[in-house]
Amino acid sequence: MLRLAIQSKGRLNEKSIQLLSDAGIAVDEAARKFLTPASNFPVEVLMLRDDDIPQAVATGAADLGIVGYNEVLEKDMDVKVIMKLGFGGCRLSLAVPQNSGYDNPSWFDGKTVATSYPNILRKHFQALGIHADIRTIAGSVEIAPTVGMGDAIFDIVSSGATLVTNGLKEVERVVESEAVLISSGRLSKENQKILEQIEFRFSSIKGSRGKRYLLMNIPNGKIEEAISIVPAMRSPTVLPLAQEGWSSLHSVVDADVLWDRIEKLKKIGAEGILVLSVEKLVL
Ligand code: ATP
Ligand code: MG
């Protein structure tokens, strides 16, 4: 049995449970216990505050964890990052009041910076030779300058809207983060095998994100041209239609180029274009 720690509630909880469920690892959320065995896979899920996940994994209380890379860096525990998971994207940035006259990082010399990530910030300032007073606060970091708890902040940013609301501007992106799978690096042989299965399943799910399955009818004379528009992984599938002179062509495309490809396909005479979502992609 392998023990996997995930966030008990908060921004990563739902997506972690969804990822497990997509990977065929069913966790009965209604049970709401801190330790829940999956019903159909040799994994038990440990629900923790995200701050405690790196330590739980480093000490062997859990074999694996799903947590923000920002927490992994901050806690600086002995854990291995196995893979990025493609959700929970954000960054750790320095932000200053809009009217602060900031022009370059030496502005921070002698200033007080409020943050919940003192270790990452200390290392960053050390590398730049900046001497600033780092003030650790647990939450609502973005209000610190307004209430006189710091000249600037170092905090998580995703859209930047919270900064604007608080009269701040982002001046330096220090760390890019997303949810990652971490391991203690000391798994039993049996658990190592389970980890390999989990890695394979997670990769298949990640691989399918942003992909669309495309089906269309195409005149036989246009098949080559259509293939050059939607080349697919190996090559698209072409099946004859009952109607003479026409075929059905199937392919997989990236969602961000979907409309461009549809327009090109229509121009060369494709009809009945059907777009389906892709659930898993096993390469
Ligand atoms: P916990 O109660 O588990 O300690 P928390 O309040 O520390 O939770 P959340 O706000 O739930 O943490 O965020 C969890 C993680 O989600 C962050 O550490 C970060 O990796 C990621 N994240 C992504 N976008 C954001 C965002 N806009 N604000 C905060 N965290 C974000
Ligand atoms: Mg936390």
Give pLDDT, residue 127: 97
Nearest CA owner, ligand 1 atom 21: 88
Residues of the chain scoring pLDDT < 70: 31-32
Give pLDDT, residue 282: 87
Q: Which of 179, 166, 67, 70 is nearest to 124 (CA)?
A: 70
User: Structural domain boundaries of the chain?
Assistant: 2-87+178-208, 90-177, 211-277
Does residue 59 sit in helix, strand or coil? helix
Measured CA distances, 126 to 78, 108, 156, 196 (Å) = 22, 12, 20, 38
50 CA → ligand 1 middle, Å: 8
pTM for the model stands at 0.90
Q: What is the CATH number of domain 211-277?
A: 3.30.70.120
What is the distance between the alpha carbons of residues 279 and 21, in angstroms, rounded to a whole number? Answer: 12
Q: Domain 90-177 belongs to what topology?
A: D-Maltodextrin-Binding Protein; domain 2 (3.40.190)
Measured CA distances, 166 to 134, 156, 161, 169, 209 (Å) = 20, 14, 9, 9, 34
What is the distance between the alpha carbons of residues 189 and 152, in angstroms, rounded to a whole number? Answer: 48
Nearest CA owner, ligand 1 atom 18: 68
Nearest CA owner, ligand 1 atom 22: 88
Give pLDDT, residue 234: 80
Give pLDDT, residue 31: 64
238 CA → ligand 1 middle, Å: 46
Give pLDDT, residue 196: 97
Give pLDDT, residue 70: 98
Is the CATH code 3.40.190.10 the one for domain 2-87+178-208? yes
> Which residue bears the tokens 């992609």?
281
